[in-house]
Structure 1
Amino acid sequence: MKSPSRIAIVVGEDSGDLLGTGLIKALKARYPDCIFEGVGGRRMLAEGFISHHAMDRLAVMGLIEPLKRLPELLGIRKSLRLRYSQNPPDVFIGIDAPDFNLSLELALREKGVKTVHYVSPSVWAWRQGRVKKIARAVDLMLTLFPFEAAFYQDHRVPVVCVGHTLADQIPLEDKKYEKRQQLGLDAEGKYLAILPGSRKSEVEKLCRTFLQAAELCRANDPNIHVLIPAANNARYEQITSIVSDFPKLNVQLSKANSHDVMAVADVVLIASGTSTLEALLLKRPMVIAYRVAGLTFWLLKRLVKSKYVGLPNLLAGKSLVPELLQDQATPENISAEIIKALNDDSRQQQLINEYVSIHQTLKKNADETAASAVENLLKNS
C-alpha cells in the first residue's frame, strides 16, 4: 500500500484538539510526508495542521442551542462535504462532535472515502438507535472507554478501544505537593480550583454561581484560595468581567493551564465534561455542577437512560463524586459539597484509590493505539 498523502480530521472543541494533536504526531511518525487538514485547534495548528474553518465555530452543545447556529454549521459542513467529495482524502477522521461529524462521515463514506470516528457519542446512554446510522457512517469507531467498545461489539460495529491520551501523560500517583512546590505555592494552603467550562454559554450559566459558592466557602474558611484557569483568551476576558464583581475573593485567574491548576487544588469545582476526566486522572476530589437551557434539560431527563452524567461516576458505575444539575446547582448546595470534600481526609484517600483503579484501565498508549488502528484500516482498504 502506498503511503497516504492527505488525512482529513475535523474536531469541534478543545478536548478534540488534544486528541487530534496526539493522533497527528503518531501518524506523522508513520507518514512523514502526509498532509493533515480539516478543522482543528491551536495544538493541531502547531503540528502544521491546515484548518479550513475556525474550530470554535463548531463548539456548541445541547439540544436547542445548536438551532441558533444551524445555518452556519450547515454551511461549514456543506463546504467540507464538497471539498472532500471532489478531492477525497485517504481517510476522514471525525473527532467527537457527533452531530456534526457523523452526517459528514456518512456522506463521504457513500462516496467511497474511508471514515473513522474517534470518541463515541453517548449512544449507550440515550438515542441508542443512532448506532444504526453510525454503522452506516464509519469504517471504524475508536472509543476512549472499555464499556463503550463492548456496546459497539454487541452491535457489530468495527471498534478499537484506545484509552485516553491523558491517562498516558498523567502519572498514576497523586502529585499535588510536588506540583505546588514547582509553582511556588504554599504546600499546606487550601486551594479551590474553579472550571466553569470552555464555552461562552457555559461560563454565562455557571461562573457567577460558582463564585457565589466560593464566597460561601470562604465565609466558612477564610484560608481558601480560589484559582480559575480560563480555557482561552475569550473566556479569560469573559471571566475577568464576572470576577470583578467578587473583589473579596481575590481570585487568581490564569490562561490555558487547567492541568496545573487542577493538579495543585484540594477540591475542583467543575462543569460536567471532559475536564472531569482530567481531574480524575490528577486524583482530585471534585464537585460537578452543570446547567443547560430549561427545555434542553427537560428533554434530556426524558431521553437519557444513564444514571450519571459525570465521567468519574460513569466510569466507576457508581456515585464517586457529587453531581449537582440544573436547579440543584445552587451556591448553597455547591459550597456544602466543597466544604465536605475539604474536611473529609478518609474520603479523599478512598477517592484516590478508586481513581487509580480507573486510571489503569484507561492507560493504553492511546495515540499510538489510535494511529495503529487507522494504519490497519488504510492497509486493508
Structure 2
Amino acid sequence: MPAGLTVALVAGEASGDQLGAGLVRELRRQVPGVRCVGIAGPAMQAAGCEPWWEADELAVMGLFEIVRDLPRLLRLRRALIARLLAARPAVFIGIDAPDFNLGVEKTLRAAGITTVHYVSPSVWAWREGRIRTIRKAVDRMLCVLPFEEAFYARHGVDARFVGHPLADELAPGGDAAAARRELALPPEGPVLAILPGSRRGEIERMGAPYAETIAWLAARLPTLACVLPVARPALLAPLQAALSAAGVDASRCRLVEGQARSALVAADAALVTSGTASLESALLGCPLVVAYRASALSLALVRGLRLIRIRHFALPNLLTPTPVVPEFLQAEVTAARLGPALERLLTDPAARATQQEEFGKLHALLRCDASRRAAEAVAALLPGYRAPNEP
C-alpha cells in the first residue's frame, strides 16, 4: 500500500463524533500509518483524528432551523471542499449530517475522490427523492440499520450493513441500584428518566409538556422520583423554568449534566424525545415512551410536500416486528396522553417485560462489531490495500 495515505472525515454533533471515533481507531489499527483529518469532535480527536474544524460547527437540525445558520454553513462547506480538493485524500467519509455532507461528497466524487457516507439518511422514511443525490454522491453507503442495505441495492447504490455501534457499546441488565446511588436517587420506588433532547429548539417545544407530565404523574404516584439529564449546561435554565411553571417540586426531579445512560439504567421507564436516545433506551433495556414536536414551519413543509413515508417514527418501532413503544406526535404531546402511557410502564411489570423482550431481540440483531466492519468497508476502497487474510 502506498505510504502516507490520508482519510478525511466529517462528523456533526456528539453522536457523529462517537461513531467517527470508533471508525478512526479501527482504521488506524487496520491500516497502519493512515492519517485521519477533517471536522472532528473531542472523541474523534482523542482517537487520533487531526481537527481542521470542530464538530459542533455542524450542530444544526431541521428544515426551518437550518436556515438561520445557512450562510455560515455554506462558507464552511466551501472552505472544506477547497481544502479537500487541495489535499486529495484517498477516501472521504461523511458521518451522518447528510444535508451538509452529501453536497461535499458529490463535489469530491465528481473530482475523482472516493466517497463513503456512514449512517444512511432516512430516505426510506421521507424525502426519498434524495436517493438520486446519494447515487451521484457516494461510492459506498455504510448502513447501521439492517433493512437499509436491500433498499439501496434496489436503487443501484453500493451499501454495506455494518451493525450499530451503540449495540456494541450498550447492553441491558445494568446495575440499577448502583446507578441510583450515582445519581442520588431513592433506592426504592419508581424512577422515571426524562430525556428531552439536546437542542434548544427541542427543549423549547418539549420542556413544558414534559414538565406537565411529571406533575400529572406525581399526583398519582406519591413516591415517584424523576431524573432529567441535561445535554449541555445552557439547557439547564429553560428546563428549570418549565418545571417551575408546571409546579413540579424541585426535590422530586433531579437535573443532572450528562449521565443519560446512567439515568436509563436507574429508571423503571423513560420519556424520550425521538432520536438516537430512543434506541439507546431500548438497547439498555429501559422501557420507554417516545414523543416529538417539530416546529410549525417544519411540520407544514413536511405535510405540504408529503415527504413522510412511514407509519412509525420511534427507532425501536422501526426495527422490531411488532411496534411496542407508545409514540406521541405534535398535538398528542400532552400530559393527558403521555401520563397514562408512562403510568402503565411504571406500575405494570408485564408492560415493561413486553418491551424488554423485543429489545433483547433488537440488541442481538444490531450487535455486529460495527466499527471494525465499517473500517473494513472503507479500507477495501484504499489504493493498494489488502485485507490481512488476502494473498
Distance 2:296 2:226 in 1: 29
Query: Would you say the 8 A contact 1:190–1:223 is kept in 2?
Result: yes
Amino acid at match of 2:21: T
Q: Among residues 270, 273, 295, which one is paired with 2:272 in the alignment?
A: 270
1:303 partner SS: coil
Query: Would you say the 8 A contact 1:3–1:31 is kept in 2?
Result: no
Amino acid at match of 1:267: A
Shift of 1:89: 1.7
Distance 2:324 2:250 in 1: 29
Distance 2:248 2:123 in 1: 44
Query: Would you say the 8 A contact 1:123–1:131 is kept in 2?
Result: yes
Distance 1:353 1:277 in 2: 15
Query: Would you say the 8 A contact 1:4–1:31 is kept in 2?
Result: no
Distance 2:36 2:242 in 1: 39
- TM-score, normalised to structure 1, is 0.94
2:28 corresponds to which residue?
28
Distance 2:42 2:241 in 1: 24
2:380 partner SS: helix
Shift of 1:233: 3.0
CA RMSD of aligned residues (A): 2.0
1:329 corresponds to which residue?
333
1:300 corresponds to which residue?
302
1:93 partner SS: strand
Distance 2:260 2:96 in 1: 21
In the alignment, is residue 217 of structure 1 matched against residue 217 of structure 2?
Answer: yes
Amino acid at match of 1:336: P
Distance 1:48 1:56, change over 3 A: same
| Corresponding pairs, count | 381
Stretches of structure 2 that go unaligned for 5 or more consecutive residues are 386-391
Query: Would you say the 8 A contact 1:53–1:76 is kept in 2?
Result: no
Stretches of structure 1 that go unaligned for 5 or more consecutive residues are none
Q: Among residues 315, 326, 330, which one is paired with 1:311 in the alignment?
A: 315
2:128 corresponds to which residue?
128
Shift of 1:51: 2.8
Mapping 1:300-379, distance limit 5 Å: 300-301=302-303, 302-379=306-383
Mapping 1:1-381, distance limit 5 Å: 1-173=1-173, 175-177=175-177, 179-180=179-180, 185-243=185-243, 245=245, 246=247, 248-250=249-251, 251-301=253-303, 302-379=306-383
Q: Deviations over 1:49-68 (max 9, x none)?
A: 33333323322222222122
Distance 2:298 2:127 in 1: 15
- TM-score, normalised to structure 2, is 0.91
1:270 partner SS: strand
2:382 partner SS: helix
Distance 1:193 1:171 in 2: 18
2:17 partner SS: helix
**Is 268-277 or 38-47 further displaced after alignment?**
38-47
Distance 2:133 2:4 in 1: 27
Amino acid at match of 1:109: R
Distance 2:359 2:146 in 1: 16
**Is 237-246 or 14-23 further displaced after alignment?**
237-246
1:104 partner SS: helix
> In percent, how many aligned pairs have the same letter?
39
Distance 1:54 1:235 in 2: 21
